[in-house]
Amino acid sequence: MDTIHEMNVEREEELAYNIGEKYFAIQTSEEGYDYTFYDDDYLDLDGGIYENLDISITEAAKKILVDEGYSLEKAQKIDYEELMEHVDTAADEEMEWIAEM
């Protein structure tokens, strides 16, 4: 059983990192941890589902970054919501550009 301290600590459900000239976002989903890599223009590069919910989201993020060849020393935690705002704006701009073609 969880201790009182463990029960009162909210489990993080989303994280974001700046990794050099790219970005990495991860969030909890029903299947596991849903993650996406973005380029410096906030456009989707790659992503997937990490299916091990037995570890923390921070541990999952570290494992994914290392597996993908990124240096943890260069990974700087950033605000998840702010990153998602940039991603949404970039996606909207890309759709507008496509519509104008």
User: Tell me, what's the pLDDT at 74?
Assistant: 83
> Residue 4: pLDDT above 50?
no
Predicted TM-score (pTM) of the model is 0.82
| For residues 43-51, average pLDDT | 95
| For residues 65-85, average pLDDT | 92
> SS3 for 72?
helix
| For residues 47-57, average pLDDT | 94
Residue spans of the domains in the chain: they are: 4-100
CB 58 within 8 A of CB 33: no
Radius of gyration of the chain (CA): 15
> Residue 89: pLDDT above 60?
yes
> Residue 7: pLDDT above 80?
no
> SS3 for 24?
strand
> Residue 28: pLDDT above 70?
yes
75: which residues sit within 8 A by CB, 6+ positions away? 17, 18, 19, 24, 65
User: Tell me, what's the pLDDT at 10?
Assistant: 52
